[in-house]
Amino acid sequence: MSTAARRPRQASTVAVRGRKLAVTHHPGAAGRVPLVLCNGIGSSQRLFDPVVGALDRDRPLILFDVPGLGGSAAPRVPYLFSTLAAALHRVIAGFGYRSADVLGISWGGGLAQQYAFQYRRRCRRLVLVATGTGMLMVPAAPRTLARMSTPRRHRDPAYAERIAGDLYGGSARLDPARTISALHNAPTATPRRAYLYQLMAIAGWSSLPFLPLIRQPALVLAGTDDPIIPPVNASMMAGLLPRGRLHRYDGGHLALLTEAGELAPVIDSFLDEDGDERSER
């Protein structure tokens, strides 16, 4: 049994804005602000199992599968980050919370930025991990972008292990099997349509124009060896966020999963500082 599985949890399917989303709620301690975890492209909420196990056990957590992934129903039509953020807002409110902290990794970092901007009075703090500003950012190398354009690495573990070092960097260069084990911590393969819709959601989106308007405290976590998100993007984001701060770590794109024990305390410390960790639930 994983550490994440030992946390009290409530799994359900929530109908919101015409979509059926698979949601998991770890209640945590009463009066605490929940942390919402937004996962990367092609991955279900199970991606966060190592992180869930490493975070403060008293912190309430909310995880969900985007349309078409994990336990969520397949999307009938493409969606935008703005509409997905609206659905997420209703999920959070449905658990009785008036505010939340939001963490996003990679693709999920775009959704987290959109949520913080769209619901600035309901988002207390923002954590952005291995992510960028969408369409307007310093891009990865063409070969890396080509590999990211299809879900093959999510569907073919042998292929994923062959390219893991070059694609994810960090510890994946020395131990690709460990990285792929974390990436494939889900019972089903990634559907092509769900992956395509995620690509479409971010294709015409950028947070660059509105980053200066996100005034919540924001922590930007970036690896020094991340082929997918060149490190310069993190510096740019931290500089544009009025209350942004940058934390660099020696690692790659998926270090939050493979080195959760090192990065989770950094996140907990940021979320708990200033003594304002209270919920309006």
For residue 99, the model assigns a pLDDT of: 97
Give me the CATH number covering residue 206.
Answer: 3.40.50.1820
Residue with tokens 């305390």: 265
Q: With respect to residue 21, please indicate whether it lies within any of the assigned structural domains.
A: yes
> Using one digit for the tens of pLDDT, what is the confidence trace for 61-105?
999 999 999 999 998 899 999 999 999 999 999 999 999 999 999
Q: Decide if pLDDT at 12 tops 50.
A: yes
166 located within any domain: no
**What values do phi and psi take at 150, rounded to 5?**
-130, 160
Tens digits of residue pLDDT in 155-199: 898 999 999 999 999 999 999 999 888 887 765 678 999 999 999
Q: Mean of the pLDDT values across residues 110-117?
A: 98
Q: Which of 44, 106, 171, 279 is catalytic?
A: 106
Whether residue 206 contacts residue 134, with contact meaning beta carbons closer than 8 Å, is answered with yes
- How far, in Å, CA of 84 to CA of 102, rounded? 14
pTM of the model: 0.94
Domain that holds residue 121: 4-139+191-275
Residue 157 placed within a domain: no
| 174 lies in some domain | no
| Strand duo 123-129 + 244-249: pairing | unpaired
pLDDT at 109 over 80: yes
Q: Could you give the CA distance from residue 70 to residue 210 in angstroms, rounded to a whole number?
A: 31
pLDDT at 152: 93
Residues 238-271: tens digit of each pLDDT: 999 999 999 999 999 999 999 999 999 999 999 9
Is residue 58 classed exposed, middle or buried when 0-12, 13-18 and 19+ CB atoms within 10 A define those classes? exposed
Residue 163 belongs to a domain: no
What per-residue confidence (pLDDT) applies to 263? 98
Q: How confident is the model at residue 2 (pLDDT cuts 50, 70, 90)?
A: low
Say whether pLDDT at 9 is over 90: no
Helix %, strand %, coil % of the chain (to 5): 40, 20, 40
Exposure pattern of 113-140 as b/e (b: 16+ CB <10 Å)?
bbbbbbbeebbbbbbbbbbbbbeebeeb
Whether 5 shows a pLDDT value over 60: the answer reads no
Whether residue 99 lies in the annotated active site = no
Residue 128, in any domain of the structure:
yes
In a domain, 80, yes or no: yes
In angstroms, rounded to a whole number, what is the distance separating the alpha carbons of residues 231 and 242? Answer: 19
Question: Is 231 within the bounds of a domain?
Answer: yes
- Tell me how many domains the chain contains: 1
- The share of the chain scoring above pLDDT 90, in percent, equals 85
